[in-house]
Structure 1
Amino acid sequence: MLLHSLSGPVSSQAVADAIFSAIRNGELTEGAHLPSVRGLAADVGVSPGTVALAYRMLRERGVIRTSHGKRAQVSARPPVPRASLTMQLPDGVRDLTAMEPDPELLPDVGAVLTPDTYRPTLYRESNVAAELRAQLAVDFERDGIRGELTVTNGALDFMERLLKARLRPGEVVLVEDPMWTSTLSLLRTLGLEIVGVAIDDEGMRPDALRETLAKRHASALLITPRAQNPSGSALSAQRAAALRDVIAAYPELLVIEDDHASLIAGAAFHSLTAGREHWAVVRSMGKALGPDLRVAVAASDPGSAGAVQGRQLIGPGWVSHFVQRVVAALLASPEARNQIADAAEIYAQRRRALLAALADRGIEARGASGFSIMVPVPDESAVVANLALRGWGVRGGEGFRMSERPFVRVCTATLQPAESVLFADALAEVLRARAGHRE
């Protein structure tokens, strides 16, 4: 299967590519067992560590599945996730797992509804309702973003349609490490290869991106400019400029910015898309106005807009213009805009309160914007389980990370400052107990 395609110095990437090619051309089918690590290493003439790393790379892409003591198997293609949208927590556990806005901080939709909010929309209407175009064009323009607008049912809907139109299975997409699990699931479902790039509080690191681009031919870069999930990182002006310099040498790279929390992120917007030929900035309204509105607006180059809108025409056609007019009315309302601004400040206060409480107890954590912070821990599953026993639900980082060290994610959107102290005490107790156990 593999030997005929491997020659010369063989790397883990070469082994992974050979296995992927065998799956794609039908030599290996769903459920087929791969050779053992030691067996394949002996056949190819490499170390078991080289094959083990190749298997890990394929597992992270969703191409194969592994379990302890058993041979790796080819996954179903595409690997569509079936997990629940929320973690199941015991009764009485305070839920800090969900990346959801505080319902109490959402603007009043009913206050902007008028008799003419609904009016008949026929098949030949444009993708973007005129009222929403007028509102969002101004917001994008203010941030220096000038492109064709497209409305979809959320940010993931836009990204799926664009990536499916522009990329083929097996092509490489660069993402932040760690990265939002739903985005990773989307990329795996599309059969794309995910390559993580290290980040810090200012977002993706230029040195790591430069090194990755030098080693791998990437087709797309998917980045979160602020309110990154799970780290809470936000691009600074200096960091964005440095990243633009790195990608300037790769003009064909498609750059997608998922600005999912734009209105309430608590950080300024800095883009990498200036001067790019292939690009998109997508902004979801869910965090600020309510998830059930299901509206995201993207600005992009005309080709990307055409690709997404064309795929919409053979599916849902368009996003309800009634819902678009509701969103536009909220964005045009001074009262709603004030509520959104107040909410952004409250979210920032809650995030800072938890970071301060953890710092007071000597616990390292990070989160510069948005709803989440991440806390490095020695053992994710043990910390999650022991916090649940103490009445706190958080999420382990395994589903988010590639090379990042273990951590737990804490969502602060509904966490009151007084609760931050209680949670920090509980986490400090868990970490002390784990440290004592190791000793």
Structure 2
Amino acid sequence: MATQYEITGADAKGIAASIERGVAGGALAPGAALPPVRRLAERLGVSPGTVATTYKELRRRGIVVTRGRGGTVVASAPAVASRRPPTVPEGVRDLAGGHPDPAFLPALLPPARLSPGARSHRSTPRLPHLEELTRGWYEADGVPSGHITFAHSALDCVARLLSVELRPGDAVAMEDPGYHHLLDLVPALGLRSVPVAVDDEGIRPEALRAALRAGARAVICSPRSQNPYGGCFSAGRRDALLEVLAEAPEVLVVENDHAADIAGAPLRTLTAGGPARWAQVRTVTKYLGTDLRWAALACDPTTLARHDGRLLLTSGWVSHVLQETVTRLMADPATQELVGRARTAYAERRTALIGELAARGIAAHGASGLNVWVPVRDEAAVVNGLRTHGWWVAAGARFRLAAAPGVRITTAGLTPADAARLAADFAAVLGESQVTYGG
């Protein structure tokens, strides 16, 4: 109950303004419960319909959210500050960033043949050759490619999809633990996150069903290379998830296949013959260049129209200079050979660390991708303990909603010899304080 702030007002506009003043001034903090409709109506001498209208308008604008029996509460503020990774200390090996090994990134040479000068590409927003390559890219993994478009990054694409599909206060089913930037993005859009537990096969069907029953109108998931847990869909898990999604045909399913070509696992997608509303987002930043802010989107026709309609009103199109750079790299045999070597090396490095940890009795997860997730009881103790041994790993707090603690280790640049040393140091840290590991 919000007992320390006196809500005032004689009509819906005045009541809403009073609540907004309380939120802006900090008297009504994120998560603070507002009085039930009838109770506030009696206190202010207005009709319950007036208060209900007030709350509805505040929900529409993302100022409050309704949590079923939990009532109406002030919406959570974006957690960007709390989830921002700390600065890497000097003199330690950085295994916290989630970055690829620079040795496997091709040299980026901007194209010179595109003419300079002011011009509009709204009539042809996508280069035909890149569009052709992108369709083949999707089709090779069984993703329908009848409707594709481009965006500036995976986050840019997901933000646009959610903003055109949902209203402030709507719920989104989110992987837990999950990608911290997506966990920040959802509340920043005025939406509500519903955690969905993951394991080595990706999101768990029973957790997804619970999220859908809680009112989730969109699902964001990773079919492989799940960050930070490393899970990837098995055929059985995919089929089980499709059964759950069949119960909610109106829900938008967004697959984030951010590390497609270097995931080290086959794609078992939910998009082929599954949901009526779907989208799969892919990027190239992890294996063609971290500065290539380009993403591809395959989706159903309704989603395509809504995404591109909003894109047209904002940036209009993705830079043709950027598109041409991506085209040259995707079509270059030497670059594709380098990507293949990266895929093999990343799988070897990831499995090497998991094996070294297992040999010392430490369970870890990383079925695909560039990261390994290690459950621990005390994240700070492990992070600080490994720091004294010269390693810097990511505390799991910024990846979690309701999941148990853990640490994320990026293995992209970790050779097998390094993995053995890290695992030995990890075991030593756990031995120094038994309370740091959750078993």
Name the counterpart of 2:240: 242
What do the CA deviations read for 1:97-124 (whole angstroms, capped 9, x no partner)? 01111111012334xx665366776333
Q: Is the 8 A contact 2:259 2:282 kept in 1?
A: yes
Q: Distance in 1 between matches of 2:189 and 2:95?
A: 30
Shift of 1:401: 1.4
From 220, 223, 248, the counterpart of 1:222: 220
In 1, Cα distance between equivalents of 2:90 and 2:113: 44
d(CA) in 2 for partners of 1:328 and 1:105?
Answer: 18
Q: Cα distance 1:188–1:37, how it changes in 2: closer, same or farther (>3 A)?
A: closer
Amino acid in the other structure paired with 1:418 = A
* Pair 1:299-2:263 in alignment: no
Going from structure 1 to structure 2, the CA distance change for 1:91 and 1:292 (only over 3 Å counts) comes to same
Which of 28-37 and 231-240 deviates more? 28-37
Alpha carbons 1:176, 1:223 under 8 Å: kept: yes
AA aligned opposite 2:211:
T
| 1:74 Cα offset (Å) | 5.7
- Percent identity, aligned pairs only, is 41
Q: 1:74 to 1:166 in 2, by over 3 A?
A: closer
Structure 1 residue corresponding to 2:121, chosen from 123, 126, 135: 123
> Given that residues 176 and 402 in structure 2 are in contact (C-alpha distance below 8 angstroms), is that contact kept between their aligned partners in structure 1?
yes
The aligned counterpart of 1:272 is 270
Q: Are 1:207 and 2:206 an aligned pair?
A: yes
Q: What amino acid is the match of 1:393?
A: W
Give me the CA root mean square deviation. 3.1
Q: Provide the residue aligned with 2:6 in structure 1.
A: none
Q: How far 1:261 moved relative to its partner?
A: 0.4
Question: What residue is the counterpart of 1:393 in the other structure?
Answer: 392
Distance 2:82 2:353 in 1: 29
The whole-number CA distance in structure 2 between the counterparts of 1:310 and 1:292 is 26
* Larger deviation, residues 29-38 vs 242-251: 29-38
Per the alignment, residue 281 of structure 2 pairs with 282
Structure 1 residue aligned with 2:133: 135
Q: Is the 8 A contact 2:379 2:436 kept in 1?
A: no
1:189 aligns with 2:183: no
Per-residue deviation, 1:211: 3.3
* 1:346 has 2:345 as partner: yes
Q: Which residue is 2:432 aligned to?
A: 433
User: Is 1:88 the equivalent of 2:82?
Assistant: no
Residues of 2 paired with 1:339 and 1:353: CA distance? Answer: 21
Q: How many angstroms apart in 2 are the aligned matches of 1:80 and 1:309?
A: 28
Query: 5 Å matches for 1:305-320?
Result: 305-320=304-319
SS of structure 1 residue aligned to 2:247: coil
- The verdict on how the C-alpha distance between 1:364 and 1:34 changes in structure 2, with shifts beyond 3 A counting, is same
> For residues 58-69 of structure 1, what are the structure 2 equivalents within 5 Å?
none
Q: Which residue matches 2:11? A: none
TM-score, normalised to structure 1, is 0.82
Q: Secondary structure at the match of 2:80?
A: coil
Mapped partners of 2:63, 2:222: distance in 1: 22
* 1:195 shift after superposition: 0.8
Could you tell me whether the CA contact under 8 Å between 1:227 and 1:368 is conserved in 2?
yes
Tell me what 1:382 maps to: 381
Q: Distance in 1 between matches of 2:222 and 2:2?
A: 37
CA distance in 2, matches of 1:222, 1:306: 20
Corresponding pairs, count: 391
2-structure distance, mates of 1:118, 1:100: 34
Does the aligned pair in 2 maintain the 1:354–1:424 contact within 8 Å? yes
Contact 1:351 1:372 in 2 (8 A): yes
SS at match of 2:399: coil
Alpha-carbon distance in 2 for matches of 1:24, 1:198? 38
Could you tell me how far apart the structure 1 residues matched to 2:408 and 2:124 are? 40
Deviation at 1:362, TM superposition (A): 0.8
Q: Structure 1: which 5+ runs fail to align?
A: 4-20, 45-60, 65-72
Label 1:408 to 1:286 Cα distance change in 2 as closer, same or farther (>3 A): same
Partner of residue 27, structure 2: 32
Partner amino acid, structure 2, of 1:32: A
By how many angstroms is 1:218 displaced?
1.4
Deviation, 1:334, is 1.4
Q: Does 2:159 align with 1:160?
A: yes
- Cα distance between partner residues in 2 of 1:152 and 1:78: 26
Q: Distance between the aligned counterparts of 1:385 and 1:354, measured in 2?
A: 20
CA spacing shift, 1:191–1:142, aligned 2, 3 Å = same
**Retained in 2: the 8 A contact 1:178–1:401?**
yes
Q: Unaligned regions of 5+ residues in structure 2, if any?
A: 4-14, 40-61, 66-72
